[in-house]
Every structure is written in structure tokens, then in C-alpha cells.
């Protein structure tokens, strides 16, 4: 299974902002430079994270972004579910485009569905706080 870059980058934005202490503001430009990701692309992700209530955006000259919730309140599994638009691992997971002739009798889709549920269940066991427990090391690696 492969998560979209969009989800990966969203998690990176959350990790970046969570590693900062006391609500210190970050900028899209700063995050873009640290991760070598297009600031235009990050802008879309920050907008989505803001819409979902994970990020707070402050406009103006001294503005920026910061977490809108405590890291312990942000569940990794929930973020992944909200950022991914589908979990169609195989064609047969999408009834609208399934043309596989063995689909009615195939057991593979059930096995993969079970694996997907297990994957998400593991992610549900972690919060953003768990991902930044080593915040000092993360900040050092980010050059901050």
C-alpha cells in the first residue's frame, strides 16, 4: 500500500508544527525549505489541514501557522483517513470500476481488506504527540 504524497506532506507539516514549542508560528516557506517541497503544494495542504481543524492560520505580517489542537488530540489514523480520498487497493475495491471476472468468488479482496483495517488500526493507536516525542532531535535534523 502506498499513501499519497499529499498525506505524507500533511503528516510532515503536522510533525513540523508540533515539534515547535509553545505555539511558535511557522511559515509555509520555512516548512517548504526544510522538506524541499513546493510551497504552492504545501499551501494547499495547509489550507486543508486548517479546514479540518488541525492547523490554525494567522494572517498578517507576523502571521504563520501553528497547531490548532494539542498534539495528543491529533490521531494519526484519523488524519490519514481524512487526507486519503480512497483506499481502493485493487480494482475490486471500487464497485463502479470493477471488471475483474473472478471478483464474486475471489478471497484476495477479503484478505487485503483485513490488512487495510489492520493498517489503519495500528495508526489509530498513535497521536501526533507520539511522533514528536523526540522533538529535539527532529528540530536539529530540520536545522532549527
Domains detected in the chain: 5-84+127-141 (1.10.10.10)
Return the residue matching grid coordinates 473472478.
102
Residue 1, all three cell numbers: 500500500
* 34-61 pLDDT per residue, tens: 999 999 999 999 999 999 999 999 998 8
How many Å apart are CA 108 and CA 119, to the nearest integer?
16
For residue 19, pLDDT over 80 is answered with: yes
Give the pLDDT score at 5: 95
Give the pLDDT score at 97: 82
* 87-134 pLDDT per residue, tens: 877 777 777 888 888 888 889 888 988 999 999 999 999 999 999 999
How many Å apart are CA 63 and CA 65, to the nearest integer?
7
Q: How confident is the model over 6-12, as a mean pLDDT?
A: 97
Q: Where are the alpha helices (DSSP H) in the chain?
A: 5-19, 28-35, 39-51, 76-83, 108-124, 128-131, 135-141
The predicted model scores a pTM of 0.89
Name the 3-class secondary structure at 55: strand
Give the pLDDT score at 64: 95
* 63-86 pLDDT per residue, tens: 999 999 999 999 999 999 999 988
Residue 138, all three cell numbers: 527532529
DSSP per residue, 91-108: GGG-TTT---TTTTT-SH
Amino acid at each position: 500500500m502506498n499513501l499519497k504524497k499529499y498525506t505524507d506532506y500533511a503528516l510532515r507539516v503536522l510533525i513540523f508544527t508540533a515539534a515547535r514549542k509553545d505555539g511558535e508560528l511557522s511559515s509555509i516557506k520555512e516548512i517548504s525549505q526544510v522538506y524541499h517541497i513546493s510551497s504552492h503544494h504545501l499551501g494547499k495542504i495547509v489550507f486543508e489541514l486548517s479546514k479540518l481543524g488541525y492547523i490554525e492560520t494567522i494572517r498578517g505580517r507576523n502571521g504563520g501557522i501553528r497547531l490548532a489542537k494539542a498534539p495528543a488530540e491529533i490521531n494519526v489514523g484519523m488524519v490519514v483517513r481524512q487526507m486519503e480520498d480512497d483506499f481502493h487497493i485493487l480494482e475490486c475495491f471500487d464497485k463502479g470500476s470493477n471488471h475483474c471476472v473472478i471478483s464474486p468468488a475471489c478471497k484476495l479482496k477479503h484478505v487485503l481488506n483485513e490488512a487495510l483495517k489492520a493498517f489503519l488500526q495500528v495508526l489509530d493507536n498513535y497521536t501526533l504527540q507520539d511522533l514528536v516525542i523526540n522533538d529535539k532531535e527532529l528540530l536539529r535534523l530540520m536545522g532549527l
